[in-house]
Amino acid sequence: MCGQLGTGCTEIAQIISSRMKIPVFNTEKLLHHLAADLELSFTQLATKATSGEVELDESLSSLVSGFIRDKHIEKIIIEGRTAFMVLLEPATLKVLLIAPEYVRAYHIAQRREISYERAQEATRVSDDDRAQLVRRLWKVDWLDPSLYDLVINTGAWSYEQAADIIEKALRNRSSAKEV
């Protein structure tokens, strides 16, 4: 589940996870896994990443690719920025969440308890970061709808409604693959 900052990826993933009992992995959770794998504290990992000793994007991409290929893990939700790292990997359902900037900025302002103006800037910086990440890793435009099975505008749907749509698509896709 990929999305623009402020479109509710985390919230929607949690709703689906709760309903379908599928674990969610995002950048924060994967960073904790990476730190544990490297036997480092979170602070030590941050220091090594800043110094260049650990390439975070490559390490996170490798880690999440390992989860995808792990035969012991039947289903997994990868959400947020980390989902872009495995964008072209095989998946049951690829979802892109979008919304108008004003909707996203309002959500970020509320969630982070910052001004609307700072939230607008955060969404723009994040959009640029995600565009560069996907261009660097995959040489594609991250907002190209043909990369995804489903694109949902969370400015037009509540998080519950978006989760309903995704859950239905996931069940339909999963049952079709079993036939």
Residue matched to tokens 């969630």? 111
* Cβ atoms of residues 141 and 131 within 8 Å: yes
Q: Which fold has domain 2-167?
A: Rossmann fold (3.40.50)
Q: In the structure encoding, which two tokens stand for residue 89, read together?
A: 């990997």
* Cβ atoms of residues 76 and 67 within 8 Å: yes
Q: Would you write out the chain's pLDDT as a tens digit for each of its 179 residues?
A: 999 999 999 999 999 999 999 989 877 777 666 667 777 776 776 676 677 776 767 777 777 777 677 766 678 899 988 888 888 888 889 999 999 999 999 999 999 999 999 999 999 999 999 999 899 889 999 999 999 999 999 999 999 999 999 999 998 987 765 54
The pTM score is 0.84
| Sequence ranges of the domains in the chain | 2-167
> Taking each helix axis from N to C terminus, what angle separates 56-69 and 116-138, rounded to the nearest 10 degrees?
70
* Cβ atoms of residues 162 and 150 within 8 Å: no
